[in-house]
Amino acid sequence: MTRPTIIEDAGTDQIAEWLGAYLAKILAARDGPITITVPGGSTPFPIIEHLLTHDLDWSRLVVWPNDDRVVPEDHPASNTGKLRALLEPAGAEVVTLSVMEQVPHFDLAWLGMGADGHIASLFPNTDPQLDEPLSILRLTPDPLPPEAPFDRVSLTLPALLNSDAIVFVIRGADKRAAFNQAAAGQSDLPVARLIGAAKQAVTCFT
């Protein structure tokens, strides 16, 4: 288990600066594409908008959603559609999650978390396992979130852990409490299972 580094009261610009510096370092260190996975929901998109002001070779960036709602990409609830609208004009590639996709090793896994401890669409009722043989699953949250009552497709714990670094962005006291419990090994929520198995650096912006 890696003890997370907590960066308190981080603003959108500070998180984007950290991400930009991380990506720039990898881009400078090697040739070819770099691959990251990013969360959906409302939190990441303002950060991505700020990140896009950085002078990076966006044509080398391949972006995988952590998860998505099973809706068409032009649906307002589609994470993939929103990511495409932001990132593709800059030259980045956005992958559509499908159980048929071969999931790569990620240079960075950027995650959010729900107050119930879910990450990606690995809700507590789905009982995600560290030895899950598949990299992508189709899942049904229970209860279905009222703001997005759809089945999901999600990367699994092994897929998310197959990364060089993990970064969380956590907003709100209820989420912070759940994260603290997970980081202390005091829960068995999905986020706790991930952190407990992580051997790479884990950073959490609050």
Per-residue confidence in pLDDT tens, the chain, 206 aa: 678 999 999 999 999 999 999 999 999 999 999 999 999 888 999 999 999 999 999 999 999 999 999 999 999 999 999 999 999 999 999 999 998 889 999 999 999 999 999 999 999 999 999 999 999 999 999 888 888 899 999 999 999 999 999 999 999 999 999 999 999 999 999 999 999 999 999 999 99
Q: Answer whether residue 91 is part of any domain.
A: yes
User: What residues does 169 pair with on adjacent strands?
Assistant: 205
Output the domain CATH number for residue 123: 3.40.50.1360
Exposed, middle or buried, 25 (CB in 10 Å: 0-12/13-18/19+)?
Answer: exposed
CA-to-CA distance for 49 and 27, rounded, in angstroms? Answer: 19
Q: Answer whether residue 178 is part of any domain.
A: no
Query: What pLDDT score does 28 carry?
Result: 97
Q: How far is CA 20 from CA 29, 78, 204, in A?
A: 14, 25, 16
Q: How many domains does the chain have?
A: 1
